[in-house]
Structure 1
Amino acid sequence: MKNTAISFARAGLRSARALGVAALALGLHAALAQHAGHGAPAQAAAPKPTKERAPRPQLGTGAAFAPDGSLWMAALDEQGRLFVQTAHAQEKGWQWGAPRTLDTSTDRISADGENRPKLLFGPKGLVLVSYTQVLDKPFTGFIRMLRSTDGGKTFGPPATVHADRQIITHRFESIAFDAQGALHTVWIDKRDLETAPRVGSKSTYRGAAIYRNVSLDGGVTFGPDIKVADHSCECCRIALAQGPDGRVRALWRHVFEPNVRDHALAVLDVQGKSADIVRATEDGWRIDGCPHHGPALVAAQEGFHAVWFGIRQEGDATVAGVRYARLATDGRPEPGSVQRIPDARAEHADLQAQGSKVAVVWRSTDGATSTLKAWTSTDAGKTFRAQVLGQAEGDNDFPRLVRHGERMVVVWRNSKEVKIHDIGF
């Protein structure tokens, strides 16, 4: 297994000491509930004198393979500028080229873990980079996109992809092509929360909503904003995957009645028809707050593979953890396929699959040291073998697992370097 690293100036993301699985399991429900104003306000406490804290580094990184097999990343540098960088596999490991700064006008860009820049390659030299533009009002943003038609040599100016221009939440976007070449953009949106009736100071609307649109010309123009579902969780990433039938599925943390934050799956119809929501997980997450911990989804030989974080009752114990399952084509978990990853500190898992080979990667942190781990299967997810890929001290991003043909690699960024780990089966 090869391991290559690239050094660069400090840029950044959420600290490895951020809220993790262990803290959730210990019951910090109140902290989750009041996070970002998503739950009931906590009782005021007397202010304590504190030292001024340095801004949290923004290390959130997008990664993808280009059609030619080169590995690309999109991230922010220490000045908050968006850049792309390309690596090529050499006999002695991966070799990175020089970073190239992209023109994003005056946009402030979010690159904080669940809300990172995204890279997507299309036909005929098309390269797309999407990101959330941070607006002045807290927790608001616009989804923006850069477009290249020459394989990423040059990019046009950024454009906002959604029709709605209210200064509200349009954040946590994901982008994917279907088999017909239609571009699907999906994001978390709070326009319905803003207009919902209120009882006192509290809205009657649960969570946010999932919205999307479709572009039939590779991101030149976009169709109308379409609501996929009311009542999504507020700050978890949305997973997109093209199914065996060529249509794109979206998997997100949903707020089911009365306030259960399990996951929902929907097919994204290219004509924009309303999607039927399928419940894809049954953990029974009953915390009135967002864990900032979205799912991952990839096509299987039949149906899908999925990983997610949740808390469920197992006998007399309430057990938090990252879980894996095979989902049927309609999105429902296959009986007997749900497994908890054997690491109580596992968080922010990603996965890929090729034929009968499945890889799951995650970060495991003790508060000071983060360990990159993998779970690999050669029998379509029936059994797995655990591996340790590396460690990092201090601030680091969540691992990104990407695939090109038979090859799967993990891109893992910390405040000093970007490490590339080849997955071995």
Structure 2
Amino acid sequence: MKKVAAGLMIGLMFSCHRGQVQPDHTLVLSHAGKAASCPFITQDGSGHPVVSWVEKDDSTENGLMFYAVSNDNGYTFLPPVAVTATAGVFPHDENLPKILFKPDGTVMALFGIEANDPRNKYAGKVMYTQSFDGGKHWQPAVPLVTDTAGYDQRYFDMALLPSGEAAAIWLDNRKQTNAEGSTLYFTVTHGHSGFGQAKPIAATVCQCCRTKLYVAGNGHVHVAYRDIISDSIRDMVHQVSTDGGQSFSAPVRISADNWVVNGCPHTGPALTANSQGLHFAWFTMGGGQGAFYCRSLDNGNPYTQKESLSKAPMAKHPQMTTVNDDILVVWDEPVKWKNNFNSRVGFQYKAADGKTMQAGILTTDSSYANYPVVGAVKDHKALVAYKRRDAQGSQVVVTRLNID
């Protein structure tokens, strides 16, 4: 099959200690002439890197999901596969559509659409579709929630459990309190039947920030999200399940930022794990402003003091992954360019214990790049995908990084 390739190299500024991150190849994955957004990185059942995204025409608000697989560790990608059952997906870089490959060969796509509900004009609905033949054909999309009391579901995440089933979390309007906020729900698939009965695991969750679901190598299921504490504080919290999602610990703040805000930050947390414990990144304007990092040696008992990831006060949308037991964090931040502001992608490469070994910028100041995502691949490499805007529209771009 024909492969997609392009040879655009980008600048990198850094100060390094032991490790060194260098970009070695950059590709545009989305189709020319389409407005592309919402990049997401995962891997298929054989461990090959996969990047998914959404495309739409400039004349429409809704789009279609695509994904592309790499057979050479992220250097090139096979032609994009259309997830036909996602027609009508609403592109939202925080309410990020996801794709997941189960060990039994099932491919799942989880995505959001507009609900058009009179009870909330901003309401959304989470849908999912499955393919049982490697993406050639897709089952009709069905709602994640069928309860008629649930008219607004958004800010979801999905991860693979050790059992081979998929788990999902999302924010839901259904709640047992009059306090502001949404309820966080959790559910698991049952073979080809799809997602089964869901259960609430947290209440008074901030309604407008993405959630994070992460399954560690020991099988523990972690969730992180922005909570509403004491009716006005919007700080990040963490919960863990040590029994495969049957039960979850009580929410605990990863950092007492005490950010009081009556609004929608639209930037959620990131979470990964390695041999040294859990690692978190998030945006706040409490006790400092920008993107921050902390870690925990033992499932949140306790968390280290937060540290700033960037000198840019509005660095946000952090994402992170584990690479060879080290930690790679990326985010976007504004940058002055001529008489205007652009956005660029920054990074930190940290040792297993969280010590920063290298920091720098992955995109040029003259371009507009934001909403990066990151994923580790084989042979000491990683992929960073992001949305890049120019006069012709927006593209989904992926850069492969060498990590020595």
- Identify whether the pair has TM-score above 0.5, normalized to the shorter chain: yes
Q: Does 1:260 align with 2:256?
A: no
Question: Which residue is 1:178 aligned to?
Answer: 161
CA contact (8 A) 1:81 1:101 kept: no
For 1:391, what is the secondary structure of its paired residue?
coil
- Alpha-carbon separation, structure 2, partners of 1:312 and 1:274: 27
Q: 1:215 to 1:67 in 2, by over 3 A?
A: closer
Q: CA deviation at 1:159?
A: 1.8
- Alpha-carbon separation, structure 1, partners of 2:219 and 2:170: 21
Q: Does 1:101 align with 2:82?
A: yes
CA contact (8 A) 2:100 2:107 kept: yes
Question: Which residue is 2:190 aligned to?
Answer: 216
Structure 1: 4+ residue segments shifted above 6 A:
none
Question: Which residue is 2:55 aligned to?
Answer: 77
- Alpha-carbon separation, structure 2, partners of 1:10 and 1:96: 19
- Alpha-carbon separation, structure 2, partners of 1:166 and 1:90: 47
1:326-365 to structure 2, matched below 5 A, reads 326-336=295-305, 338-344=306-312, 345-365=314-334
CA contact (8 A) 1:172 1:237 kept: yes
- Alpha-carbon separation, structure 1, partners of 2:215 and 2:159: 8
Q: Does 1:62 align with 2:36?
A: no
CA contact (8 A) 1:85 1:96 kept: no
Number of residue pairs matched? Answer: 362
Query: TM-score by structure 1 length?
Result: 0.77
CA contact (8 A) 2:345 2:369 kept: no
Question: Which residue is 1:325 aligned to?
Answer: 294
More strand by share: 2
Please point out which of 8, 25, 31 is paired with 1:8: 31
Please point out which of 371, 376, 381 is paired with 1:398: 371
Q: 1:332 to 1:279 in 2, by over 3 A?
A: farther
Question: Which residue is 2:360 aligned to?
Answer: 387
- Alpha-carbon separation, structure 2, partners of 1:407 and 1:151: 26
Question: Which residue is 1:149 aligned to?
Answer: 132
Q: Deviations over 1:156-194 (max 9, x none)?
A: 2212222323462211110112222232110011122xx
| Amino acid in the other structure paired with 1:5 | L
- Alpha-carbon separation, structure 2, partners of 1:215 and 1:250: 17
Aligned Cα root-mean-square deviation (Å): 2.6
- The more displaced of 163-172 and 134-143 is 163-172
Q: 1:258 to 1:408 in 2, by over 3 A?
A: same
1:20-419 to structure 2, matched below 5 A, reads 59-79=37-57, 80-88=62-70, 94-104=75-85, 108-137=88-117, 138-166=121-149, 168-192=151-175, 204-217=178-191, 220-268=193-241, 269-270=243-244, 272-273=246-247, 275-313=249-287, 319-336=288-305, 338-344=306-312, 345-366=314-335, 368-391=341-364, 396-405=369-378, 406-414=380-388, 415-419=393-397
For 2:70, what is the secondary structure of its paired residue?
strand
- Alpha-carbon separation, structure 1, partners of 2:47 and 2:244: 29
CA contact (8 A) 2:327 2:351 kept: yes
